[in-house]
Amino acid sequence: MSTLAPSRVQVEELVRSILRRQLGAGAAASADGAAVARRPHLVANISARHCHLTQADVDVLFGEGYQLTPMKRLYQPTEFAANETVAVVGPRQRMIPGVRILGPCRSFSQVELAFSDAISLGIDVPVKPSGDIEGTPGCLLIGPKGSLVLPKGVIRAERHVHMGPKDAAYYGVKHLDRINMRVEGTCPTVLEGLLARVHEDWKLEVHIDTDEANACDLAHATKVTLFRGSSSLTRIQDFGS
Ligand SMILES: [Zn+2]
Protein backbone atom coordinates (compact mmCIF):
# COMPACT_ATOMS: atom_id res chain seq x y z
CA MET A 1 0.00 0.00 0.00
CA SER A 2 1.36 3.45 -0.88
CA THR A 3 2.16 5.75 2.01
CA LEU A 4 -0.02 8.37 0.29
CA ALA A 5 -3.12 6.23 0.69
CA PRO A 6 -5.20 7.10 3.76
CA SER A 7 -4.98 4.64 6.61
CA ARG A 8 -7.92 2.48 7.58
CA VAL A 9 -8.34 4.61 10.70
CA GLN A 10 -8.53 7.77 8.59
CA VAL A 11 -11.06 6.19 6.22
CA GLU A 12 -13.21 5.09 9.12
CA GLU A 13 -13.12 8.55 10.66
CA LEU A 14 -14.00 10.11 7.30
CA VAL A 15 -16.98 7.75 6.89
CA ARG A 16 -18.12 8.48 10.43
CA SER A 17 -17.97 12.24 9.91
CA ILE A 18 -20.01 11.94 6.68
CA LEU A 19 -22.58 9.73 8.39
CA ARG A 20 -22.79 12.08 11.34
CA ARG A 21 -23.55 14.97 9.01
CA GLN A 22 -26.07 12.97 6.99
CA LEU A 23 -27.87 11.49 9.96
CA GLY A 24 -27.64 14.41 12.31
CA ALA A 25 -28.00 14.10 16.04
CA GLY A 26 -29.64 10.95 17.33
CA ALA A 27 -27.62 8.56 15.24
CA ALA A 28 -24.11 7.19 15.45
CA ALA A 29 -21.88 5.20 13.15
CA SER A 30 -20.54 1.81 14.09
CA ALA A 31 -16.93 0.81 13.40
CA ASP A 32 -17.81 -0.77 10.08
CA GLY A 33 -19.43 2.43 8.91
CA ALA A 34 -23.04 1.25 9.19
CA ALA A 35 -25.54 3.69 10.61
CA VAL A 36 -26.91 2.68 14.01
CA ALA A 37 -29.96 4.51 15.31
CA ARG A 38 -29.71 5.59 18.92
CA ARG A 39 -31.62 3.28 21.24
CA PRO A 40 -34.86 4.98 22.22
CA HIS A 41 -35.62 5.57 25.88
CA LEU A 42 -38.21 2.95 26.84
CA VAL A 43 -40.66 3.63 29.64
CA ALA A 44 -43.09 0.97 30.88
CA ASN A 45 -45.95 2.37 32.91
CA ILE A 46 -48.84 0.81 34.77
CA SER A 47 -52.26 1.87 33.59
CA ALA A 48 -54.49 1.62 36.65
CA ARG A 49 -58.27 1.44 36.23
CA HIS A 50 -59.60 4.69 34.79
CA CYS A 51 -62.20 6.10 32.48
CA HIS A 52 -62.45 8.50 29.55
CA LEU A 53 -65.65 10.50 29.23
CA THR A 54 -67.43 12.62 26.67
CA GLN A 55 -68.19 16.19 27.69
CA ALA A 56 -71.90 15.25 27.57
CA ASP A 57 -71.30 12.52 30.17
CA VAL A 58 -69.21 14.91 32.31
CA ASP A 59 -72.19 17.30 32.19
CA VAL A 60 -74.49 14.61 33.57
CA LEU A 61 -72.09 13.40 36.26
CA PHE A 62 -70.61 16.75 37.40
CA GLY A 63 -73.13 19.36 36.25
CA GLU A 64 -73.83 21.22 33.02
CA GLY A 65 -70.68 22.74 31.48
CA TYR A 66 -68.35 21.31 34.13
CA GLN A 67 -64.70 21.22 33.02
CA LEU A 68 -62.33 18.49 34.21
CA THR A 69 -59.39 19.88 36.19
CA PRO A 70 -55.88 18.42 35.67
CA MET A 71 -54.33 16.81 38.74
CA LYS A 72 -51.25 15.40 37.02
CA ARG A 73 -49.81 15.50 33.52
CA LEU A 74 -49.23 12.04 32.11
CA TYR A 75 -46.12 10.85 30.26
CA GLN A 76 -47.96 11.45 26.99
CA PRO A 77 -48.12 15.21 27.26
CA THR A 78 -51.59 15.57 25.73
CA GLU A 79 -53.15 13.48 28.52
CA PHE A 80 -53.82 14.27 32.14
CA ALA A 81 -55.21 12.54 35.21
CA ALA A 82 -58.11 14.64 36.42
CA ASN A 83 -58.90 15.49 40.02
CA GLU A 84 -62.38 14.13 39.34
CA THR A 85 -63.36 10.52 39.89
CA VAL A 86 -66.53 8.48 39.44
CA ALA A 87 -67.92 5.33 40.98
CA VAL A 88 -68.29 2.38 38.61
CA VAL A 89 -71.17 0.08 39.44
CA GLY A 90 -71.70 -3.39 37.98
CA PRO A 91 -74.61 -5.79 38.11
CA ARG A 92 -75.96 -6.60 41.59
CA GLN A 93 -74.80 -3.18 42.84
CA ARG A 94 -71.19 -4.11 43.28
CA MET A 95 -69.14 -0.94 43.05
CA ILE A 96 -65.61 0.44 42.70
CA PRO A 97 -65.49 4.03 44.02
CA GLY A 98 -62.93 6.66 43.05
CA VAL A 99 -62.17 5.58 39.50
CA ARG A 100 -59.92 8.29 38.03
CA ILE A 101 -61.00 10.19 34.92
CA LEU A 102 -58.32 10.84 32.32
CA GLY A 103 -58.69 13.99 30.28
CA PRO A 104 -59.21 15.69 28.00
CA CYS A 105 -62.73 14.58 27.08
CA ARG A 106 -63.10 12.22 24.13
CA SER A 107 -65.75 11.49 21.54
CA PHE A 108 -66.77 8.30 23.39
CA SER A 109 -66.87 7.19 27.00
CA GLN A 110 -64.85 4.16 28.02
CA VAL A 111 -64.01 2.44 31.31
CA GLU A 112 -60.70 0.54 31.42
CA LEU A 113 -60.47 -2.10 34.14
CA ALA A 114 -58.04 -4.84 35.09
CA PHE A 115 -59.55 -8.33 35.12
CA SER A 116 -59.46 -8.36 38.93
CA ASP A 117 -61.52 -5.14 38.94
CA ALA A 118 -64.01 -6.57 36.46
CA ILE A 119 -64.32 -9.79 38.45
CA SER A 120 -65.03 -7.85 41.64
CA LEU A 121 -67.73 -5.90 39.77
CA GLY A 122 -69.19 -9.04 38.21
CA ILE A 123 -68.62 -7.87 34.64
CA ASP A 124 -67.31 -10.33 32.03
CA VAL A 125 -65.03 -7.85 30.33
CA PRO A 126 -63.40 -8.35 26.91
CA VAL A 127 -59.79 -7.49 26.04
CA LYS A 128 -59.96 -4.68 23.49
CA PRO A 129 -57.76 -1.96 22.09
CA SER A 130 -58.83 1.45 23.31
CA GLY A 131 -61.73 2.77 21.24
CA ASP A 132 -62.95 -0.63 20.03
CA ILE A 133 -66.05 -0.67 22.20
CA GLU A 134 -68.79 -2.03 19.90
CA GLY A 135 -70.51 -4.93 21.61
CA THR A 136 -68.72 -4.41 24.94
CA PRO A 137 -70.58 -4.44 28.26
CA GLY A 138 -71.75 -1.30 30.00
CA CYS A 139 -72.03 -0.20 33.59
CA LEU A 140 -73.53 2.46 35.82
CA LEU A 141 -71.43 5.56 36.50
CA ILE A 142 -72.11 7.74 39.52
CA GLY A 143 -70.74 11.26 39.91
CA PRO A 144 -71.35 13.99 42.47
CA LYS A 145 -74.19 15.58 40.48
CA GLY A 146 -75.77 12.66 38.68
CA SER A 147 -75.52 9.17 37.33
CA LEU A 148 -75.84 7.53 33.97
CA VAL A 149 -76.03 4.12 32.40
CA LEU A 150 -73.12 3.62 30.07
CA PRO A 151 -74.58 1.22 27.47
CA LYS A 152 -71.13 -0.01 26.34
CA GLY A 153 -67.46 0.81 26.79
CA VAL A 154 -66.21 -1.32 29.68
CA ILE A 155 -63.03 -3.05 28.52
CA ARG A 156 -59.83 -4.53 29.75
CA ALA A 157 -57.42 -2.48 27.62
CA GLU A 158 -55.15 -4.57 25.46
CA ARG A 159 -51.46 -4.32 26.42
CA HIS A 160 -49.85 -1.82 24.08
CA VAL A 161 -46.94 0.45 23.41
CA HIS A 162 -47.22 4.05 22.28
CA MET A 163 -44.53 5.03 19.79
CA GLY A 164 -43.45 7.89 17.62
CA PRO A 165 -42.46 7.21 14.00
CA LYS A 166 -38.72 7.11 14.86
CA ASP A 167 -39.32 4.52 17.60
CA ALA A 168 -41.40 2.42 15.21
CA ALA A 169 -38.58 2.55 12.65
CA TYR A 170 -36.04 1.57 15.31
CA TYR A 171 -38.04 -1.49 16.36
CA GLY A 172 -39.05 -2.33 12.80
CA VAL A 173 -42.80 -2.19 13.42
CA LYS A 174 -45.72 -0.28 11.96
CA HIS A 175 -48.94 0.93 13.51
CA LEU A 176 -50.94 -2.04 14.90
CA ASP A 177 -48.07 -4.52 14.57
CA ARG A 178 -47.19 -6.69 17.56
CA ILE A 179 -44.08 -6.61 19.71
CA ASN A 180 -43.01 -8.43 22.88
CA MET A 181 -41.71 -7.14 26.17
CA ARG A 182 -39.25 -8.88 28.46
CA VAL A 183 -39.24 -7.85 32.10
CA GLU A 184 -36.16 -8.77 34.13
CA GLY A 185 -36.16 -8.70 37.90
CA THR A 186 -37.75 -10.60 40.74
CA CYS A 187 -40.52 -12.09 38.55
CA PRO A 188 -38.95 -12.43 35.10
CA THR A 189 -41.69 -12.42 32.48
CA VAL A 190 -42.21 -12.11 28.76
CA LEU A 191 -45.41 -10.40 27.73
CA GLU A 192 -46.16 -11.15 24.10
CA GLY A 193 -48.21 -9.40 21.49
CA LEU A 194 -48.18 -5.82 22.71
CA LEU A 195 -50.06 -3.71 20.20
CA ALA A 196 -47.84 -1.04 18.63
CA ARG A 197 -49.69 2.23 18.45
CA VAL A 198 -47.79 4.74 16.35
CA HIS A 199 -48.55 8.44 16.31
CA GLU A 200 -46.27 11.35 15.56
CA ASP A 201 -47.07 13.02 18.90
CA TRP A 202 -46.38 9.98 21.08
CA LYS A 203 -43.39 9.22 23.26
CA LEU A 204 -42.23 5.63 23.61
CA GLU A 205 -44.25 4.17 26.46
CA VAL A 206 -45.63 0.72 27.28
CA HIS A 207 -49.00 0.51 29.02
CA ILE A 208 -49.91 -2.63 30.92
CA ASP A 209 -52.59 -2.88 33.56
CA THR A 210 -52.20 -3.48 37.29
CA ASP A 211 -52.76 -7.24 37.04
CA GLU A 212 -50.04 -7.61 34.40
CA ALA A 213 -47.69 -5.27 36.25
CA ASN A 214 -48.17 -7.08 39.55
CA ALA A 215 -47.60 -10.46 37.91
CA CYS A 216 -44.19 -9.40 36.63
CA ASP A 217 -43.41 -7.06 39.57
CA LEU A 218 -42.85 -4.22 37.13
CA ALA A 219 -42.31 -1.79 39.99
CA HIS A 220 -39.05 -3.59 40.86
CA ALA A 221 -37.97 -4.58 37.36
CA THR A 222 -34.25 -4.20 36.70
CA LYS A 223 -34.57 -4.07 32.92
CA VAL A 224 -37.36 -3.88 30.39
CA THR A 225 -36.79 -4.57 26.70
CA LEU A 226 -38.92 -4.80 23.59
CA PHE A 227 -38.27 -7.38 20.92
CA ARG A 228 -39.95 -8.59 17.80
CA GLY A 229 -40.80 -12.20 17.03
CA SER A 230 -43.74 -14.55 17.35
CA SER A 231 -42.57 -15.86 20.71
CA SER A 232 -39.70 -15.73 23.14
CA LEU A 233 -38.44 -19.04 21.74
CA THR A 234 -38.20 -17.76 18.18
CA ARG A 235 -36.80 -14.39 19.01
CA ILE A 236 -35.75 -12.52 15.88
CA GLN A 237 -34.11 -9.46 17.30
CA ASP A 238 -33.45 -8.16 20.76
CA PHE A 239 -33.37 -4.52 21.75
CA GLY A 240 -32.08 -2.81 24.83
CA SER A 241 -34.22 -0.67 27.05
ZN1 LIG B 1 -51.91 3.75 26.46
29 Cα: distance to centroid of ligand 1 (angstroms): 33
23 part of a folded domain: no
Q: Alpha-carbon distance 148 to 72, whole Å?
A: 26
**Radius of gyration for the alpha carbons in the chain, expressed in angstroms and rounded:** 23
* pLDDT(162) > 90: yes
Share of the chain above pLDDT 90, in %: 77
92 alpha carbon to ligand 1 midpoint, in Å? 30
Q: Of residues 75 and 241, which shows the higher confidence score? A: 75
- pLDDT per residue over 91-115, tens digit each? 988 999 999 999 999 999 999 999 9
Same domain, yes or no, for 52 and 151?
A: yes
- Separation of CA 161 and ligand 1 centre (Å): 7
Of 109, 124, 157, the residue at which a domain comes to its end is 157
In a domain, 16, yes or no: no
DSSP 28: E
- The pTM score is 0.80
Q: Would you say residue 5 lies in a domain?
A: no
Please state, in angstroms and as integers, the Cα–Cα distance from residue 202 to each residue in 75, 77, 115, 130, 226, following that order.
9, 8, 27, 15, 17
Considering the domain architecture, whether residues 194 and 108 belong to the same structural domain is answered as: no
166 with 153, same domain?
A: no
122 and 163 share one domain: no
pLDDT category, 81, cuts 50, 70, 90? very high
Find the 86 Cα to ligand 1 centroid distance in Å: 20
Mind listing the pLDDT tens digit for each residue in 208-223?
Answer: 999 999 999 999 999 9
How many angstroms is it from 159 CA to the middle of ligand 1?
A: 8
- For ligand 1, the distance from its centroid to the CA atom of residue 138, given in whole angstroms, is 21
Per-residue pLDDT tens over the stretch 180-234: 999 999 999 999 999 999 999 999 999 999 999 999 999 999 999 999 986 544 4
pLDDT at 1: 45
In this prediction, residue 127 carries a pLDDT of 97
Task: Answer yes or no: do 146 and 167 share one domain.
Answer: no
